[in-house]
Amino acid sequence: MSSHNFSANLDVYKTIPKYNVIFESKERIHGLEPMAVDWVLYECILKIKDGGKTPVSLAMKFIPPHPYAINMPMEKTLKAESISALYGKVFNFLSNHGILFKG
């Protein structure tokens, strides 16, 4: 068996399938820091692809100002299997920073 044929067979495994975006929308996520009554705003892009392990993604971009005494991440990308699971991750992300999810 020649090494040339072996490496040619491995090239088949290097190609990763590309999935098409079937839905895309702009979203706004608001949260509330309850102790200081400061609002948090993220502008987001929700994308749904036609395949893959995690076809739903949300790219979040923080809109300043930061709430009192909390340094929120400027950008965050979340991926999930469904829209419901994705918003569960959004809730957990905000909760980890002491923010109440308001929609």
Q: Is the pLDDT of residue 6 over 70?
A: no
φ, ψ for residue 69, nearest 5 deg: 65, 15
Beta bridge partners of 63: 41
Q: Would the pTM of this model clear 0.85, i.e. be above it?
A: no
Average pLDDT, the chain: 88
Residue 9 has what pLDDT? 58
Contacts of 74 (CB under 8 A, 6+ apart): 61, 62
pLDDT in tens, 21-36: 999 999 999 999 988 8
Task: For residues 44 and 63, give the distance between their C-alpha atoms in angstroms, rounded to a whole number.
Answer: 10
3-class DSSP string for 30-48: EEEECCCCEEEEEEEEEEE
**pLDDT score, position 12:** 57
Domain ranges of the chain: 20-101
CA 13 to chain centre: 27
pLDDT at residue 56, as a whole number: 97
CA distance 52 to 17: 9
pLDDT digits (tens, 9 = 90+) for 41-61: 999 999 999 999 999 999 999
At residue 1, does pLDDT exceed 80? Answer: no
